[in-house]
Amino acid sequence: MKNKFTILAGTTSVILSLVSQPVLAAWSGPQGLGGTYVSNVSCASLGTNQVICAGLGTNNELFVNRFNGISWSGPQGLGGTYVSNPSCASLGTSQVICAGLGTNNELFVNRFNGSSWSGPQGLGGTYASDPSCASLGTNQVICAGLGTNNALFVNRFNGISWSGPQGLGGTYVSNPSCASLGTSQVICAGLGTNNALFVNQFNGISWSGPQGLGGTYVSDPSCTRLGASQVICAGLGTNNALFVNAGP
């Protein structure tokens, strides 16, 4: 898999301001939150001024740290044994879901309902990449990953149950990145075998199929919402410079 970095969700004005000026008048500066982690970290919003960040501890268990607007909870172990980087996505105010691959490469999710975690829930499938999850609206989410044939597979939660793995075709050489396009809409991106960026858009009913956007990238893509029905995807070019592509 390619090198990986992540951009966090924000509004159009916030993302565009990154190009020419600081987003905030002043940054807090690095704040140590403890713990010892062996994976990339994934964070997701819990609502206004609240967030949760997740990563794997040295025993490959999932640990989360929650910010309530004033202070951090400290690392909380949620059990499970994972072999991939985690991916977390908002399910609405004070709710979130975190996903990762178990030792059998099956997708496992753990849901926070505002007061407690569900515990790891196996959703089947056999994956060969890190998962990427994105909100589809209140109490809805989609998680994507590459199957053993390097095609993109998605699993959708409708608020009650999961759809099960759905193959969307394509052949990818990077971890996928999914981002919300608004209620019941999402886009998932990945690099094709030519290292160009490909996206697949879900309109609430069906998927568009892989659409090539060109470019030649040497990192995993990272996508995030820009506002109503728009998204931006970023990645490193062959000169290791940052390239972005906004749409649709």
Do the Cβ atoms of 29 and 37 come closer than 8 Å?
Answer: no
- pLDDT on residue 4: 56
- What is the domain partition of the chain in residue ranges? 35-124, 138-145+161-248
**At CB < 8 A and 24+ separation, what contacts does 153-158 make?**
153/125, 153/127, 154/188, 154/202, 154/207, 155/107, 155/123, 155/125, 157/97, 157/109
pLDDT of residue 214: 95
- Residue 248 has what pLDDT? 84
Residue ranges for the chain with pLDDT beneath 70: 1-24
The residues, any chain, with a CB within 8 Å of residue 119's CB and separated by 6 or more, are: 78, 79, 110
14: left (phi over 0), alpha (psi -120 to 50) or beta: alpha
pLDDT of residue 18: 42
- Measured between its terminal Cα atoms, the distance across the chain in Å is 26
**Which pLDDT does position 157 carry in this prediction?**
95
The Cα 112–Cα 138 span in angstroms is 13
Query: What's the pTM value of the predicted model, to 2 decimals?
Result: 0.87
User: What is the rounded CA–CA span in Å between residue 234 and residue 2?
Assistant: 13
pLDDT score for 12: 40
pLDDT given at position 16:
38
